[in-house]
Structure 1
Amino acid sequence: MDLMRFFKAKPKTSSVAKERLQLILAHERIGRNANGTAIPDFLPQLQRDLVAVLSKYVKIGDNDIKINVDRQDNLDLLEVKIEINR
């Protein structure tokens, strides 16, 4: 058994989520059609992942998250709107 791996600190969920979003954005930049618009085929899975992570901390449903990918000027924007029930 590798004792160093056993005692190693586990990554925080926020850093894991950040890495996933960075990978998704990088993949989205590569996946474009002929006219340069984004192909948002990852959005349903991203929404399910976000619901799974956020539901650990707050009450949230599948329809409480809205995700949109847009392009303004030279920037790709990932907009996430989350309704939190209190």
Structure 2
Amino acid sequence: MSLLEFFRPQKKTSASLAKERLQIIVAERRSADDPAPSYLPQLKEDILKVIGKYVDVEPSMVDLSFEQKDDDISVLELNVKLPDEDK
């Protein structure tokens, strides 16, 4: 790391920001005993914003589900129905 990088850090990309948020959510979920995740609506909204930069999608086209399979296994499933290209 050079001295200039220390005083002028690079702007985070949307992918790295989304990765950090997901890591925080997963860590929070592991520490909480609440079976119903309260963060899913906000996570879905964030994912819609990121996908919306590249493809026009509606909220009904994104399905986000969370399943607790065991004490140490959780599954976050994301299904996105992409629109057909106009020909």
TM over 0.5, shorter chain: yes
RMSD: 1.7
- TM-score normalised per structure 2: 0.77
| Corresponding residue for residue 16 of structure 1 | 17
| Corresponding residue for residue 50 of structure 2 | 53
- The Cα of 1:84 is off from its aligned counterpart by 1.1
Percent sequence identity is 33
| Corresponding residue for residue 29 of structure 2 | 28
Point out 4+ residue stretches in structure 1 off by more than 6 angstroms: none
- The Cα of 1:13 is off from its aligned counterpart by 1.2
Q: Distance in 2 between matches of 1:54 and 1:23?
A: 20
Q: Distance in 2 between matches of 1:30 and 1:81?
A: 26
Q: Is the 8 A contact 1:43 1:67 kept in 2?
A: yes
| Corresponding residue for residue 84 of structure 1 | 82
- The Cα of 1:71 is off from its aligned counterpart by 2.0
Extract unaligned runs of 5+ from structure 2. Answer: none
Q: Distance in 2 between matches of 1:41 and 1:53?
A: 20
| Corresponding residue for residue 73 of structure 2 | 75
Q: Is the 8 A contact 1:28 1:39 kept in 2?
A: no
Q: Distance in 1 between matches of 2:74 and 2:15?
A: 22
Extract unaligned runs of 5+ from structure 1. Answer: none
